[in-house]
Amino acid sequence: MAELTEKIKSLKKEKKAVILAHCYQNAEIDEVADFVGDSLYLSQMAAKTDADIIIFAGVYFMAQTAKILSPDKKVLLPRMEAGCAMADMINLAQLREFKAKHPDIPAVCYINSTAEVKSECDICCTSSNALKIVESLGAEKVLFLPDKYLGKWVESKLSGVEVITYDGCCPVHHRIVAEDILHIKKLYPEAKVLTHPECRREVTELSDYVGSTTGIMKFAKENSARQFVIATEKGVIDRLRRDCPDKTFIPVKENLVCESMKCTTLEDIYKALVEEKYEINVDRALSEKALLCIDRMLEVSK
Ligand code: 13P
Ligand code: SF4
């Protein structure tokens, strides 16, 4: 493993490549990653980098977003099967149907969506800036897709905005139900419950903090509590246990794993660097349209 890590590091230098890794990735990836974080942070880094090659240790929509933000760079996704089940829940035809049902209402799309979907939405958001983005529109009604739970959580936090949601969700976070929280709270009454907003509303309502993956980690590191129940993908717990060995992190339930996020290995990253694959390309006209939606988000998030 150490040998492979060194090989990747020197190849990275030679090829002027940068590795962006989402916080759900396997721990070994951190050793070679230049930037590790949530979707917003990684898209900001993808827009800024002056590297020739971007390797995305994450899922397809993240690499596609990086390509849209840096169209002249080579963007590689080490495993093509690393998709996002939520992003796949809405295609362009379904978006058009949803918009036609609710005409003249601005559409906000979660970054977990395809370039086609982004190209016909007004603005994009991530889990860390969704509140700010919806608020920035100053509208009484907003369409939100594909994640119904994130949309309804945003609505609960803003007064005077009706958020009309598309019927999509993340299958990993959807597995967490209210009973899981109630059960774990009985076992660990002192623990703070930290939850990703992709969870069901009944789950976010029972939580002490709701935020993105990096939001959850920041809260756990800065808060004086000693025990935390973590309601998101396992990668966040593994990371917190490594970073804060003096605190206790309890998974809300076992096996909360996003297989797509976990399929990328160090070997895959090495192969991606050597063979320069799998290259992500986006049609220029489509990319330019989708970029408007992403750029508006980055502008509001500054
Ligand atoms: P973050 O915005 O926290 O990175 O979430 C992305 C994601 O896919 C969570 O399931
Ligand atoms: Fe998509 Fe859910 Fe996996 Fe995040 S955890 S990448 S939303 S399937």
Task: Report the predicted TM-score, pTM, of the whole model to 2 decimal places.
Answer: 0.97
CA of 10 to the centre of ligand 2 (A): 31
| Strand, helix or coil for residue 187 | helix
Minimal-distance CA residue to ligand 1 atom 8: 112
Give per-residue pLDDT as tens, 22-71: 999 999 999 999 999 999 999 999 999 999 999 999 999 999 999 999 99
The reported pLDDT for the residue numbered 29 is 96
Q: Do 194 and 215 touch, CB atoms closer than 8 A?
A: no
Give residue 60 CA to ligand 1 midpoint distance, Å.
13
Domains and CATH numbers, the chain: 2-83+261-281 (3.40.50.10800), 87-169 (3.40.50.10800), 176-255 (3.40.50.10800)
Nearest CA to 231 among 192, 196, 276?
Answer: 196
Type of residue at 190: E
Low-confidence ranges of the chain (pLDDT < 70): none
Nearest atom (ligand 1) to Cα of 23 = 4
* 207-238 pLDDT per residue, tens: 999 999 999 999 999 999 999 999 999 999 99
Which residue, by CA, sits nearest to atom 5 of ligand 2?
258
Helical spans, DSSP H, in the chain: 2-15, 27-30, 39-48, 60-69, 92-101, 115-119, 130-137, 148-157, 171-174, 178-187, 201-205, 213-222, 234-243, 259-262, 266-275, 284-300
In ligand 2, which atom is closest to the CA atom of 87? 1
